[in-house]
Amino acid sequence: MLDVGWPVDARGDRGQTPLHWAGFHGNVEMVRALLRHNAPLEVQEWQFKGTPLGWGLYGSEHGWYRETGDYPGTVRALLTAGAKAPEDIGAVDAAEEVLAVLRKS
């Protein structure tokens, strides 16, 4: 769908983009596809002001696919593309684990 021109920066009812949802679900293949089409990295959704990377980190702890999603791969892809790493992720233990894996690689 992206190849035929669907907007990569479409917004949902609270300002979330497809990249937010791909991050939240730990769907690294979707993240990569969106990034190939220049999906905006630092766009914030309106309710919590979260970025796609923030949604990926949050999803690693609270997401519907937290047991099966590829959160390290998703976070790595977003950071490699230039997403800004958060200064403080608070008490999100799974996010700490994701970032620890990335620091080792």
The CATH architecture that domain 2-104 belongs to is Alpha Horseshoe (1.25)
pLDDT tens, residue by residue, 50-96: 999 999 999 988 999 989 999 989 998 999 999 988 776 554 555 66
pTM of this prediction exceeds 0.85: no
pLDDT over threshold 90, residue 32:
yes
Structure token digits, residue 50: 């979260």
